[in-house]
Amino acid sequence: MTHGAGLSAAARRVPYEDPGLPDHRSPLRFLWWLTTSQRNRVLLGALWGSTWMCALMVPPYLLSRTIDAGLRARDTRALILWTGAVLVTGAVVAVLGILRHRTMTLVRMDAAYRTVQVVTRHVTRLGSALPRQVSAGELAHLQAGDIGRIAQTLTITGPGVGAALAYVVTAVLLFRISAVLAVVILLGVPALALTVGPLLGKLHNAENHYREEQGALTALAGDMVSGLSVLGGIGGKPMFAGRYRERSRALVPLGYRIAAVTSWVQALTTCLPVVFLAVVTWLSARMAVAGTISVGELVAVYGYVAALLAPVAFFIEGADDLPRGLVSARRVVDILALGPADEDHRTRLDPPAPPAALHDPESGLLLSPGKVTALVAARPGASRAVVERLAGYTDSDVSWGGATLSEWDRTALRRHILLADNDAYMFAGPLRTVVSGPSDHTDADIVQGLRAAAADDIVEASADGLDTHLEDRARNVSGGQRQRLRLTRALLADPAVLLLVEPTSALDALTEATVAARLAERRSGRTTLVVTTSPLVLGHADEVAYLVDGKVRATGTHRHLLARQPGYAALVFRSSGSEATATTAATGTHGPAVAARLGAGETR
């Protein structure tokens, strides 16, 4: 692209501080809002597009004058004059094409950025109400495919308008040469578009179904990735992988069908205009032989028809883009139509005083104040449902100090009860800022938090210390380091109740044992729940709750449950891969177990 400077300027203008209030009453209204939000740029794009399209019709006319007034008349001066006009017009057409393409690129960028911003803003406003209404896969596919299609649809506002105007201009020029040729061409061009229409309808229907299946498949993949470590612990990875493979294979025939229809559409859009051009050339050549039109006019007709192929291509492209854009816009307006939960009845702001127990009646789980409780479940979904209820993410009868969580203001509740898992996002920036968040922690506080999560080695290994730069999602550190940094951030937040989901799943045995000991020490006197099946962590918990079919079957210490609950013991043994590991974890002597697991090359 030859207009990088312009794109850089546009990149500085977007995203916007305020992208505006979208009209999400219908997909068409949303597309119209994207258009009117940048009306000046769209009008400029329509101007450049129309001028460029009409300018394409000028060279054929100039060529006809060059032949008739210059070559046939043997007028050297006229030949030079008209040839120069052709060269100048060609340069003008090229400049207009650049301006059109540059402006329409900015139009598409604006639409894409604006859509991302309004969706992100609304998703943020929905908060915890979002996951119950829209899957992560749906949002991922929205970003990967739908936003691009919406942006592409806005091309209709520029070249689309220009194509219609160029069609009218060509009609006037052709009628000046031959009414018969004008009628043939002006009726033949819409016939070309109508020929492809039925195939486009089939294609859009198939693509819509394919889009829905892809979204569901992406959601399944997201669920698998988010629970990968837990699935590995219970031996569920092969089952979920098989399910994903089965659904993916079922989608292949539909993909082949879409590819077949697409190939026919592309073949017809390429072949039919060429055939039509050949027919018009044959008719105009016969007229030239009969003397009805001149040789120059024959060349002009050929040029008009060849140039008219550009508007035809834009007509067909617009007919293809608009239905796709409406389908994609439907996904956006459906998300924008979602509303947050009613907060009027949520008035509580402060945690119970003195510290009180957090109780989930549905599962029977009771988190005693000031204790570290571990939750062990054979099914990850069951434990996840429990912690989401305890965190107030889902409506339930969970009570804290005698009052249900539904009475608390959600923002205040997030400060008091923190759910930290391995999906927590990490923004780019200095390590100090990433782990401390908006709170005002001193460097000494941060160092203590890093030590509690056994993450102090990350700082010590870097010359920049706490100023070490972390990339987006902390991609420049390992998975285990990333997990420990997330844990550091959760510990520095120091909530009244901390809910941790598999906080050591990516750690080796030695580091896991260190984290388990320091976590218990750091959270001493504070209410903490750890969802895990690791015996190294379970051995440090004050109390362990064994969950079966969504209900707490037994509670006690790790050693007590190993002796009294065979199902619990089997689950822990399978997770650790060694009965010796579980036994030593129960007794607190981790040395031999750790050495055995490290020797086996385990990196949890």
Residues shown for the chain:
604
Closest alpha carbon to 535 in 451, 592, 490, 600 = 592
Mean pLDDT value across residues 150-155: 85
pLDDT in tens, 407-431: 888 788 888 999 998 878 888 899 9
Residue 68: band (very low, low, confident or very high) from pLDDT cuts 50, 70, 90: confident
What φ, ψ does residue 233 adopt, rounded to 5°?
-70, -30
At which residue do the structure tokens 């995203």 appear? Answer: 15
pLDDT: which is higher, 427 or 583: 427
- How many Cβ atoms are within 10 Å of 249's Cβ, its own excluded? 9
In Å, how far from its chain's centre is CA 538? Answer: 37
How far is Cα 504 from Cα 48, in angstroms, rounded to an integer?
59
Residues 6+ apart with CB under 8 A from 250: none
pLDDT of the residue at 437: 74
- How many Cβ atoms are within 10 Å of 423's Cβ, its own excluded? 12
- Peptide linkage before 592 cis (omega within 30 of 0): no
What φ, ψ does residue 18 adopt, rounded to 5°?
-135, 100
pLDDT of the residue at 95: 93
- Joined tokens for residue 318: 């617009």
Query: C-alpha distances in angstroms, 584 versus 114, 181, 596?
Result: 57, 93, 11
pLDDT in tens, 482-512: 999 999 999 999 999 999 999 998 899 999 9
pLDDT in tens, 193-222: 677 666 665 665 666 666 666 666 665 565
Amino acid identity of residue 566, one-letter, is: P
Residues 6+ apart with CB under 8 A from 383: 375, 376, 377, 501, 531, 547
pTM reported for the whole predicted model: 0.56
Mean pLDDT value across residues 536-558: 95
How far is Cα 476 from Cα 431, in angstroms, rounded to an integer?
12
What φ, ψ does residue 69 adopt, rounded to 5°?
-85, -20
Strand 399-400 with 372-377, pairing = unpaired
Question: What element of type H or E holds 359?
Answer: strand 358-360
How far is Cα 351 from Cα 417, in angstroms, rounded to an integer?
9
Amino acid identity of residue 419, one-letter, is: L
How far is Cα 597 from Cα 576, in angstroms, rounded to an integer?
9
Closest alpha carbon to 361 in 393, 400, 410 = 400
Give Dmax (Cα) for the chain.
Answer: 111
Amino acid identity of residue 535, one-letter, is: P
pLDDT in tens, 286-330: 888 888 888 777 888 777 777 777 777 777 677 667 777 888 888
Q: Would you say residue 532 has pLDDT above 70? A: yes
Q: Would you say residue 57 has pLDDT above 70? A: yes
Please list the alpha-helical segments (H only) found in 38-132. 39-55, 58-65, 76-126
Mean pLDDT, the chain, whole residue set: 79
Q: Which of 15-19, 254-258, 504-508 has the highest mean pLDDT?
A: 504-508
- How many Cβ atoms are within 10 Å of 465's Cβ, its own excluded? 15
Closest alpha carbon to 329 in 16, 39, 107, 29 = 29
| 546 and 382 Cβ atoms separated by less than 8 Å | no
Q: Would you say residue 573 has pLDDT above 80? A: yes
At which residue do the structure tokens 């990516």 appear? Answer: 506
Query: C-alpha distances in angstroms, 142 versus 59, 121, 123, 209, 302?
Result: 44, 15, 13, 15, 44
Residue 165: band (very low, low, confident or very high) from pLDDT cuts 50, 70, 90: confident
pLDDT: which is higher, 577 or 228: 577
Q: Would you say residue 189 has pLDDT above 80? A: no
pLDDT of the residue at 235: 52
Mean pLDDT value across residues 52-80: 83
- How many Cβ atoms are within 10 Å of 15's Cβ, its own excluded? 13
Question: What element of type H or E holds 323?
Answer: helix 295-336
